[in-house]
Amino acid sequence: MKRLIILFFLCAGIARAQSTTVSATITDASGQAWKQGTYTFTFRPAPSNPTGTYYWNGVPLTGDQKTIAGHMDTSGHFSVSVPSNTSITPSQSTWDLQVCPIALGNSPCFTQQSITISGPTQDLSSIHPPAISIDLAHPAYPFVVAYTNAEITTAPLGGIYYDYTTVHYWICEAISPTGQVQNYGTCSLWVEICQVGDGLCGGGGVNATYLHNGVVVGQEPRFNLIDGTNMTLTLVDNPGATRVDATFASSGGGGTGCTLPVGGLTFGVLEENPKGTCFDDINFTWDPTLPVATTTNGRIMLIGNASNTVQAAGAGKSFDYIFEFGHDNSVVSSAVTGEHSEAIQIGAGNTFDNCATCFALGDSNDSTSSIVYSIGTHDDLHGINLYAIGSHHGINNNVAGPGDAEEIRLIGEFGLVSLLGPDTLALDIDLIGEADNVEVGEPASNLFQNQANCIHGIGGNNTLTIDGGLSADAGISTLSWVGKNSSYEAHGFFIENMVTAGNNMTVLANSQNVNHAGLYGYHMLLQNCHDCFGVGENVQLTGTLNNVLALGVSVAPEVVITPASVNVTAWPVSKIVAFTFCAAGCTLTGTPCTTGSSSYDQCASPNAINFSSLFTFADANYIASCRGVGPEDPLNPGQPGRVGEPMILSKTTTTITVTPVTLGSTAIHWDSYDCSLIHR
């Protein structure tokens, strides 16, 4: 008897060891857990033995053992014991797992086939069915259930489903059509339906469900709204609209005020954190009571028009940075009272005085600074390094002492660069524009050493003038310009190392010389020049000329070389006409003639090519030449023939007569002629 009991327990242990505890939490592709869903394991025989008898623990596998089914819990989880395939003979059998959601509509169950079950435990949570998708207008079941309304992909207007999560019915009251039918598509407004006896209808039964940001807070019969600190809620019953209206009103909360901690300031940009504690920053202020008498190395931002005047009040008093919006405002300082480090203005009619770096954006601004940047029109700039974009700018350093400028960049038109004063030095000036005027030096007979060096420009109708008395150290040095109708004058000084290109140029050095100059263009005047050359039309040379080369046309002689006194008359060309002549596709259309078949034969009817549609010469005193293209042998099409260059038989003011000449005894013709006519 003892041996039978021991054998029984051994057999039971073997049976448990040959089963696998299979568990899983089923979530679909959208992340929705298939709560309260069902699962079914179905035995699948080996493909090689589909009809044979299978044994588990040496006992034939019964029908009940081949199908194992059950329900998932409220989280979509299940755990069940399944016979291990490794303990079933014959081998190579598997199991199919079918899972079904509680949602009913168009969503079918999902089956994962041919799963091999083995080991003590096995987790199948990696199985993720497709997301549930229900067409509420064409459901497979008369009553549709969904976990959330996101699973209702299409619906008719007025469509109803039961929401498993909220335990309520919902109705679609607004549609975004997906086709021609306007009452069918994506539901854009789901409304929970009041059920008689539940909390939504005001009676007993199931309470209403309250959500916060889509998360269920609870199910209670009432919803209580409570006033908060500095917040008052007013509720009014509105039966006509079948609703209760709620109005929220703030009753304060801004603190009780504070005192600015920075001494001497009564206005500022404030921060109150924590409540009742103030913080103000002298680097960011707004003070309409300026000037400020106690600010040292401060910063200020101004907003307003014609009401802001920023002025440092004493020696060493200044603002590091000023940012100003508006027009007709003033930022004033002096060498005695201090200097503003950086001033930025946006507006018109504003004034900056004595700032290290000024930035002006707008029109009619006046800036005095070591460095000035300006974008706009009609701005007045004063300083050492000046940069301006716009028109009608005035760059003025008109002072009793030297009106020096180290670097000037001006892009625009109708600009005036006026650097007037004794012993003025203008270095590195670049101008791009039209009708700009540059003046350097005090117009006087004294020996002022006024200089304008490294000046470059692009544009027309510009004027560059340097004034003052005679001095060996004064003049215009290193000048380049591209444009027209421009003038460069050194009154009492020299001009050297210059290159200009354009039309109607004037280069004058009164009392002194122009040294190392090159001019390109026409209608140019060059006076008192040493080591100069001019290339163009109507180059006029006056005054003292040494080592000068002038090349041009329409002036006799056409080439002048000094001082060697060698005059060379060039032969000017008044007109060049070029054209092609062929049967089609050329400048002039016609069929090139064919010669006779004798040696050195010509065309019986040569081509008279009329070019009057292109040009008519005053007479026939022109050079004419033509070249043939593609000679062909009529007896051997596609083969070149033997023929000489086309011969010009005659010419008139509008016509040339052309014929080919054979070199053999075969008639020949050219495919086309390329002709050029040159008249003096």
- Indicate the helix (H) or strand (E) that contains 12: helix 2-17
Round to whole Å and give the CA distance between 295 and 307: 19
Residues paired with 386 in a beta bridge: 372, 408
Q: Is the pLDDT of residue 573 over 60?
A: no
Phi, psi dihedral angles at 13 (to 5 degrees): -65, -40
pLDDT in tens, 273-316: 556 555 555 445 555 444 444 444 455 665 555 545 565 545 55
Residue 216 and residue 316 in one domain: no
Q: Please give the pLDDT value at position 590.
A: 95
Q: Answer yes or no: are the C-beta atoms of 367 and 383 closer than 8 Å.
A: yes
> What is the residue-averaged pLDDT of the chain?
74
Local confidence band at 413 (pLDDT 50, 70, 90 cut-offs): confident
536 lies in a domain?
no
Q: Please give the pLDDT value at position 420.
A: 65
Q: Please give the pLDDT value at position 138.
A: 82
102 Cβ contact list (under 8 Å, min separation 6): 34, 35, 36, 37, 145, 147, 164
Q: Is the pLDDT of residue 399 over 90?
A: no
Residue 281 and residue 216 in one domain: no
Q: CA 469 from chain center: how many Å?
A: 55
Round to whole Å and give the CA distance between 150 and 649: 95
Q: Is the pLDDT of residue 46 over 80?
A: yes
Q: CA 439 from chain center: how many Å?
A: 41
258 lies in a domain?
no
The residue among 390, 398, 475 whose CA lies nearest residue 433 is: 390
- How many domains does the chain divide into? 4
Q: Please give the pLDDT value at position 429.
A: 78
Phi, psi dihedral angles at 596 (to 5 degrees): -75, 180
Round to whole Å and give the CA distance between 623 and 614: 16
Round to whole Å and give the CA distance between 643 and 224: 113
Residue 389 and residue 434 in one domain: yes
525 lies in a domain?
no
SS3 13: helix
Local confidence band at 194 (pLDDT 50, 70, 90 cut-offs): confident
Q: Which residue intervals of 242-326 are DSSP H helices?
A: none
Local confidence band at 110 (pLDDT 50, 70, 90 cut-offs): very high
421 lies in a domain?
yes
Q: Which of the pair, 680 or 633, is modelled with greater confidence?
A: 680
Longest dimension (CA), the chain: 150
pLDDT in tens, 170-189: 899 899 888 888 888 999 89
For residues 422-444, give the mean pLDDT. Answer: 69
Round to whole Å and give the CA distance between 269 and 626: 86
Q: Answer yes or no: are the C-beta atoms of 130 and 29 closer than 8 Å.
A: yes
Local confidence band at 47 (pLDDT 50, 70, 90 cut-offs): very high
pLDDT in tens, 465-506: 766 544 545 566 677 767 766 676 666 556 777 777 766 667
Q: Given the DSSP bridges, would you call strands 566-568 and 559-562 parallel, antiparallel or unpaired?
A: antiparallel
Residue 92 and residue 168 in one domain: no
What radius of gyration, in Å, describes the C-alpha atoms of the chain?
51
For residues 261-275, give the mean pLDDT. Answer: 56
Residue 114 and residue 146 in one domain: no
- Indicate the helix (H) or strand (E) that contains 651: strand 647-651
Q: HSE-up of 274 (CA within 13 Å, CB side)?
A: 0
Determine whether 31 is exposed, middle or buried from the number of CB atoms within 10 Å of its CB (0-12, 13-18, 19+): exposed
Round to whole Å and give the CA distance between 673 and 650: 16
Q: Answer yes or no: are the C-beta atoms of 121 and 20 closer than 8 Å.
A: yes
Residue 14 and residue 84 in one domain: yes
Q: Is the pLDDT of residue 253 over 70?
A: no
Q: Is the pLDDT of residue 231 over 70?
A: yes
- pTM for the full predicted model: 0.41
Percent helix, percent strand, percent coil in the chain, to nearest 5: 5, 50, 45
Determine whether 461 is exposed, middle or buried from the number of CB atoms within 10 Å of its CB (0-12, 13-18, 19+): middle
538 lies in a domain?
no
Q: Answer yes or no: are the C-beta atoms of 368 and 360 closer than 8 Å.
A: no
Residue 306 and residue 418 in one domain: yes
- Tokens 């509008």: give the residue: 654
Q: Answer yes or no: are the C-beta atoms of 267 and 285 closer than 8 Å.
A: yes
SS3 618: coil
Residue 35 and residue 94 in one domain: yes
pLDDT in tens, 48-77: 998 889 999 889 998 888 999 999 999 999
- Quick one: what percent of the chain has pLDDT higher than 90? 23
Residue that finishes a domain, picked among 89, 123, 157: 123
Q: Please give the pLDDT value at position 271.
A: 59
Which two structure tokens, joined as six digits, stand for 64?
A: 């009940």
Q: Answer yes or no: are the C-beta atoms of 43 and 95 closer than 8 Å.
A: yes
Residue 282 and residue 336 in one domain: yes
Q: Which residue intervals of 18-83 are DSSP H helices?
A: 63-66
Q: Answer yes or no: are the C-beta atoms of 346 and 362 closer than 8 Å.
A: yes
For residues 673-679, give the mean pLDDT. Answer: 92
Q: Please give the pLDDT value at position 490.
A: 64
SS3 93: coil
The residue among 515, 506, 446 whose CA lies nearest residue 476 is: 515
Q: Please give the pLDDT value at position 79.
A: 96
Residue 309 and residue 455 in one domain: yes
Q: Which of the pair, 669 or 306, is modelled with greater confidence?
A: 669
Distance from the first to the final alpha carbon of the chain: 143
113 Cβ contact list (under 8 Å, min separation 6): 44, 94, 96
Q: Please give the pLDDT value at position 5.
A: 41
55 lies in a domain?
yes
Residue 48 and residue 152 in one domain: no
Residue that finishes a domain, picked among 205, 220, 235: 220
Residue 586 belongs to what domain range?
575-679
453 lies in a domain?
yes
Local confidence band at 270 (pLDDT 50, 70, 90 cut-offs): low
Q: Which of the pair, 642 or 154, is modelled with greater confidence?
A: 154
Q: Which of the pair, 676 or 275, is modelled with greater confidence?
A: 676
Q: Is the pLDDT of residue 95 over 70?
A: yes
Residue that finishes a domain, picked among 220, 235, 257: 220
543 lies in a domain?
no
* One-letter amino acid for residue 656 of the chain: I
The residue among 272, 268, 269, 243 whose CA lies nearest residue 257 is: 272
Q: Please give the pLDDT value at position 297.
A: 43
Which two structure tokens, joined as six digits, stand for 37?
A: 């869903």
Local confidence band at 93 (pLDDT 50, 70, 90 cut-offs): very high
Residue 209 and residue 287 in one domain: no
Q: Is the pLDDT of residue 250 over 60?
A: yes
Q: Please give the pLDDT value at position 137.
A: 82
